[in-house]
Structure 1
Amino acid sequence: MLSQTTLQLLAASLAFTPFAAARDVPAIVRNFYNTVKGQGQCPNKLASGFYAKDNGPGNFAYCQDPKTNVLYLQGTGGALADMDIDCDGRQGGPADDGRCGKSDDTQSITSFADTVRGYKKGISDLDAKIHPYVVFGNAGDKSGFKTFDPQKHGVKPLSVMAVVCGDKLIYGIWGDENGVDGSKSMVGEASISLATACYGKSINGNNGHDQTDVLYIAFPGSEAVPGADGAAWGASNYDAFEKSIRAKGDQLIQRLAGGAGGGSPTTTAGQPKPTCTWIGHCPGDKCSNENDCDQDWVCKNGKCSA
Structure 2
Amino acid sequence: MRSFDTLLFTALAASPALARQVPANVQSLYNSIRAQGSCKNILKGGFYSQEGDSKNFSYCGDHLNDYGIMYLQGTNGNLVNMDIDCDGALGTGDGSCDSSQDTQGETSFKDTITSYKAGIKDLNAYIHSFVVLGNEGSKSGYVTFEPESVGVDPLSLVAVVCGNKMFYGVWGDTNGDDGPPLVGEVSDALGRACYGSAVNGNAAHDANDVLYIAFTGAGAVPGAKGANWSASSFTDFESSLGALGDSLVARIGSSGSPPPPASSTKPSGSQPTCSWSGHCAGAKCSSDDDCSDDLVCKSGKCATDS
Q: Is the 8 A contact 1:52 1:187 kept in 2?
A: yes
Q: Matched residues, percent identical?
A: 47
Which residue is equivalent to 1:269?
Answer: none
Q: Deviations over 1:26-67 (max 9, x none)?
A: 101000100111100011000001011221111111011142
The 3 A distance-change label for structure 1 pair 280 and 55 is farther
- Tell me the CA shift for residue 15 of structure 1: 11
CA distance in 1 between partners of 2:210 and 2:218 (Å): 25
Aligned AA (1:168): K
1:239 matched to 2:239? no
CA distance in 2 between partners of 1:177 and 1:299 (Å): 31
Which residue is equivalent to 1:18?
Answer: 13
- Tell me the CA shift for residue 208 of structure 1: 1.4
CA distance in 1 between partners of 2:166 and 2:272 (Å): 23
CA distance in 1 between partners of 2:74 and 2:137 (Å): 22
Which residue is equivalent to 2:143?
Answer: 146
CA distance in 2 between partners of 1:209 and 1:88 (Å): 18
Which residue is equivalent to 1:4?
Answer: none
1:113 matched to 2:110? yes
Which residue is equivalent to 1:270?
Answer: none
Which residue is equivalent to 2:211?
Answer: 215
Q: Is the 8 A contact 1:257 1:277 kept in 2?
A: no
TM-score by length of 1: 0.82
> 2:196 is matched with which residue: 187, 194, 200?
200
Q: Is the 8 A contact 2:25 2:255 kept in 1?
A: no
Which residue is equivalent to 1:290?
Answer: 283
Aligned AA (1:238): F
Aligned AA (2:49): A
- Tell me the CA shift for residue 97 of structure 1: 1.2
- Tell me the CA shift for residue 222 of structure 1: 0.5
1:40 matched to 2:40? no
Root mean square deviation of aligned Cα: 3.1
CA distance in 2 between partners of 1:260 and 1:49 (Å): 27
Q: Is the 8 A contact 2:10 2:197 kept in 1?
A: no
1:126-205 superposed matches below 5 A: 126-182=123-179, 184-205=180-201
Which residue is equivalent to 1:5?
Answer: none
Aligned AA (1:77): N
The 3 A distance-change label for structure 1 pair 200 and 281 is farther
1:101 matched to 2:98? yes
Aligned AA (1:296): C
Q: Give the SS at the match of 1:161.
A: strand
Which residue is equivalent to 1:271?
Answer: none
CA distance in 2 between partners of 1:151 and 1:243 (Å): 25
Q: Deviations over 1:69-94 (max 9, x none)?
A: 31001110001000000010003x24
Structure 2, unmatched stretches of 5+, are 264-270
Q: Give the SS at the match of 2:198.
A: coil
The 3 A distance-change label for structure 1 pair 49 and 155 is same
Q: Is the 8 A contact 2:25 2:252 kept in 1?
A: yes
Q: How many residues align?
A: 278
Which residue is equivalent to 1:69?
Answer: 68
Aligned AA (1:223): G
CA distance in 2 between partners of 1:108 and 1:145 (Å): 23
CA distance in 1 between partners of 2:281 and 2:10 (Å): 41
Q: Is the 8 A contact 2:26 2:254 kept in 1?
A: no
Q: Deviations over 1:170-196 (max 9, x none)?
A: 1000000111121x2111111111111
Which residue is equivalent to 1:224?
Answer: 220
Which residue is equivalent to 2:266?
Answer: none
Kindly indicate whether structure 1 or structure 2 has the higher relative contact order, using CA contacts under 8 Å at least 6 residues apart.
1
Q: Is the 8 A contact 2:134 2:145 kept in 1?
A: yes
The 3 A distance-change label for structure 1 pair 259 and 140 is farther
CA distance in 1 between partners of 2:255 and 2:217 (Å): 17
Q: Is the 8 A contact 2:153 2:218 kept in 1?
A: yes
Which residue is equivalent to 1:252?
Answer: 248
CA distance in 1 between partners of 2:95 and 2:242 (Å): 27
CA distance in 2 between partners of 1:170 and 1:125 (Å): 21
The 3 A distance-change label for structure 1 pair 14 and 141 is closer
Aligned AA (1:174): W
CA distance in 1 between partners of 2:100 and 2:94 (Å): 13
Which residue is equivalent to 2:273?
Answer: 281
CA distance in 2 between partners of 1:137 and 1:180 (Å): 11
CA distance in 2 between partners of 1:219 and 1:63 (Å): 12
Q: Is the 8 A contact 1:68 1:275 kept in 2?
A: no
Q: Give the SS at the match of 1:289.
A: coil
Structure 1, unmatched stretches of 5+, are 1-8, 263-273
1:86 matched to 2:79? no
